[in-house]
Structure 1
Amino acid sequence: LIEMLLSSNPEVAKQSDSLLPAAQSNKSTAAGVGRALMLSRLFGTENNGVEPPVISGVNGMDLNHIGMSPLNFLTTSDRALLSDMYDYAHQQSADLQNVDHLAFALGNYRQSNNGRAIYNFNNGNNFDFEGHLRTVSFNEKDTATASRILNSDAINSTRLDQGFLRYTLDPGNGALSNTSDFEFMEQMVIKFSDTGAEQISLPSKFSSFSGRSPSESSVFTLSKEVLNPNPASTFKPQIINDNGKWIVLDPAALGGNSLEQTVAQQKIKSAVSLNEQVISAFFGNDKGISEVSTSSGLLSLLGKVGKAKVL
């Protein structure tokens, strides 16, 4: 009946529009601002509003997709949430880089098939060259923040993907890759959850962006004992520097030989090759090279003094 009344009487409809709650109008405007910021900052779309299609992360790390921006793998719901985050951050006068970096972290997670294509650093297979097991953890500040997020009530209802949160807040995954501020992430988890109404405003410290530096925020630990198997300690380089001279080692010569044995063999081989070139220049190619194909042949030929051909 109300719809019929409004459609049949334009004047009534006009009056009813003026009675709409201001909050509803403001909400619509805010959504538009947030989406515009999301498109502009993440995809460089300024005016036409065209949004790049969502790319599946199932094959996100193959040769056809690995060079793409991680942002292209953000899902439709990710983009909607980020739009709301941009709007909220804008209203709170927060530095929008806080949202940018969170978006990149989420995009990296999506591109790697929700983390399945990236191995965990703490999987027990990372050794130093002496055979000590290497593990990584967050610094004290990030450890405390990650713990608060993972043990909060908000994580059970937040719009921010729980799989992403558990993945990136695992130091084996997030310590070396995530550049977003964990404390800002915590604020977003709370704001966009069932308990979000309790959060009135963002702390003023987010008016500037600090983020986190993986190199400065990660703590590496080595096992006291040498563990086996130990791939790192058995690694044999194929290029070494010997007294200022680079030597390319023959992979076939590495085998079970020690590095010292291989280097010695390679030096002999290099010397023979150089001498072959010298002999070839002085003795010609018809006989000389065939006679110096081995080190013994080289020494024998070098002993034939006075038999050089006149060139």
Structure 2
Amino acid sequence: MKITQSENPYNFPSARMKAAPAPPTTEKSVPATTSNSISLSGEALLITHLYGGELNPPFETVLDTTKSGKYYLTKADRDLLARIYEFAQEQGAAPRYVTSLARELADYRQFKNGALLGSLNSGDIYDIEGHQLSYSFIDKDAATAARILNGEAIKGSALDQGFLRYLLDPGYSAFNICDFDFLEKVVTRFSTTGDPEVALAPHFQTYQRHQSYIEHKSREILNPLALERLAKQKQEATGQNPATSPSAPRAEKSETLQDIWRRSLLQMVRNGGWQSSLATFLSRNRPD
């Protein structure tokens, strides 16, 4: 994702990134039906797993990157997430599947329901060498996304349909941390046009995260700034004066701080850097 320039009074970098997932992490959950288990209410699970035990977490509406995105969740969001936590507990699923979904929704809410975010597939994202970049989901996740978007359950989904379309678009969510198979079950379960009896498979008892995106890179260098630099280097190598040479290309624009941030962020992501969204990175030192 990128934060759109016209809607960016804070002069954030243009690309909102999520790093390539770390090696699969695991988190096991004990089914709530076992004799030695204790069932918690959905609200208690929400407070425990998303808000770190914070009672009565505040509601934020004004964009402030010093604050965590989880405070931008609406009351309706929190009530629904509490029900999803309860559903996961009943099915013996690891609560982290719900927490990952909640964090994606929180980012969406914090950035004005995605209005301040632009697509990574807009055609103006480049790597450090100047190759144009675009992103798609891996085949498995792409198929799941298509089923959700084209299915009946989304029509009556309790989850915000705008959020679902945002999350299932690789231009906006290539680096998402939400498990699409789990999301599909949630959309189906919490929908007036879905199936209230849907069940979670046993593999959801252990949380696993995988890389869900494919990065595509153009063979040619397409970044105008990179092309200009190459032209200048060629002119210098042949002894031509770039300022007087009639064939010297004119730059359409000068490199900005946002361009530098964008290149740096993309390079770090491609090298397996940060394990969170840019929104989280920008607020890494803020209190949770």
Normalised-by-shorter TM-score class:
0.5 to 0.7
Query: Would you say the 8 A contact 2:132–2:217 is kept in 1?
Result: yes
- Following TM superposition, by how much is the alpha carbon of 1:131 offset from its aligned partner in structure 2, in angstroms? 4.3
Query: Would you say the 8 A contact 1:128–1:232 is kept in 2?
Result: no
Q: What is the correspondence of 1:122-271 to structure 2 with a 5 Å cutoff?
A: 122-129=121-128, 131-176=130-175, 178-213=176-211, 217-227=212-222, 230-234=224-228, 258=233
- Following TM superposition, by how much is the alpha carbon of 1:225 offset from its aligned partner in structure 2, in angstroms? 4.7
Query: Would you say the 8 A contact 2:154–2:193 is kept in 1?
Result: no
Query: Would you say the 8 A contact 1:190–1:199 is kept in 2?
Result: no
Structure 1 CA distance for aligned equivalents of residues 171 and 126 of structure 2: 14
Task: Read off the aligned partner of 1:164 and give its amino acid letter.
Answer: F
1:97–1:235: structure 2 CA closer, same or farther, 3 Å change rule?
farther
- Following TM superposition, by how much is the alpha carbon of 1:70 offset from its aligned partner in structure 2, in angstroms? 1.2
3-state DSSP of counterpart to 2:136: strand
Q: Which structure would you say has the larger Rg?
A: 1
- Following TM superposition, by how much is the alpha carbon of 1:175 offset from its aligned partner in structure 2, in angstroms? 0.6
3-state DSSP of counterpart to 2:59: coil
Q: Percent of aligned pairs with the same residue? A: 39
1:126–1:96: structure 2 CA closer, same or farther, 3 Å change rule?
same
The residue number in structure 2 matching 1:69 is 68
Identify which range, 145-154 or 203-212, moves more after superposition: 203-212
3-state DSSP of counterpart to 1:222: strand
- Following TM superposition, by how much is the alpha carbon of 1:132 offset from its aligned partner in structure 2, in angstroms? 3.5
Query: Would you say the 8 A contact 2:157–2:190 is kept in 1?
Result: yes
Task: Read off the aligned partner of 2:182 and give its amino acid letter.
Answer: F
The answer for unaligned runs of 5 or more in structure 1 is 1-29, 237-255, 262-311
- Following TM superposition, by how much is the alpha carbon of 1:198 offset from its aligned partner in structure 2, in angstroms? 4.8
The residue number in structure 2 matching 1:117 is 116
Aligned pair partner of 2:47 in 39, 42, 61: 39
The residue number in structure 2 matching 1:278 is none
The residue number in structure 2 matching 1:52 is 57
Query: Would you say the 8 A contact 1:145–1:183 is kept in 2?
Result: yes
- Following TM superposition, by how much is the alpha carbon of 1:135 offset from its aligned partner in structure 2, in angstroms? 0.8
3-state DSSP of counterpart to 1:103: helix
Task: Read off the aligned partner of 2:45 and give its amino acid letter.
Answer: L
- Following TM superposition, by how much is the alpha carbon of 1:260 offset from its aligned partner in structure 2, in angstroms? 9.6
Task: Read off the aligned partner of 1:75 and give its amino acid letter.
Answer: T
3-state DSSP of counterpart to 1:83: helix
The residue number in structure 2 matching 1:84 is 83
3-state DSSP of counterpart to 2:217: strand
Deviations 1:52-75 (A, max 9, x none): 12111xx42xxxx21321111111
Structure 2 CA distance for aligned equivalents of residues 113 and 152 of structure 1: 27
Where relative contact order (Cα < 8 A, 6+ residues apart) is larger, the structure is: 2
Structure 2 CA distance for aligned equivalents of residues 66 and 51 of structure 1: 20
Query: Would you say the 8 A contact 1:129–1:233 is kept in 2?
Result: no
Query: Would you say the 8 A contact 1:130–1:233 is kept in 2?
Result: no
Normalized per residue, the structure richer in helix is: 1
Query: Would you say the 8 A contact 1:45–1:51 is kept in 2?
Result: no
Instruction: State the 4+ residue runs in structure 1 displaced beyond 6 angstroms.
Output: none
RMSD (Å) for aligned C-alpha atoms: 2.6
